Amino acid sequence: MKNNDLFTLLCAFILMSAGFAFSFWPLVPAGMALLVLYGHTALGVTAGLLFDIVWGAPMGILAFLHFPFLLFALLCVLIRIVALRVILPRGDLDAL
C-alpha cells in the first residue's frame, strides 16, 4: 500500500467517523465518495451498507430510498467507471 493510499483511507474514515459521531450526515457520503473515487470500491460500498444499517431508512421526503448511502456508493462506482473509460482517455495528461 502506497503512502498516498494510506492518507486517503485515513481521511475517508475520519470523515465518516466524524459524521457519525456528530450526527452530521453529509460527512458520511463525502468519506464514501473519497473511498470509491480513489479506487477502494469494496470499502466504499461496504461502508454505505453499514451506515444504512446503523441509521436505518430515512424519513420524510426521502422515505422511498431504502438504502440511500448504498445507492450513493453505487452511483460513485458508476461515475468512476465512466470517468476511467470515457473521460480520462480523451484528455491530454501532459496538460496537467
Domain boundaries of the chain, sorted by first residue = 3-95
| Distance between first and last Cα of the chain | 25
Residue 20 contacts by C-beta under 8 Å, 6 or more apart in sequence? 28, 51, 54
CA-angle at 45, arms to 93 and 18, nearest 5°: 90
Q: What is the value of pTM for the model shown? A: 0.82
Residue 37 contacts by C-beta under 8 Å, 6 or more apart in sequence? 76, 79, 80
pLDDT, tens digit (0-9, with 9 covering 90-100), for 21-79: 998 989 999 999 999 999 899 999 999 999 988 888 777 776 777 888 999 999 999 99
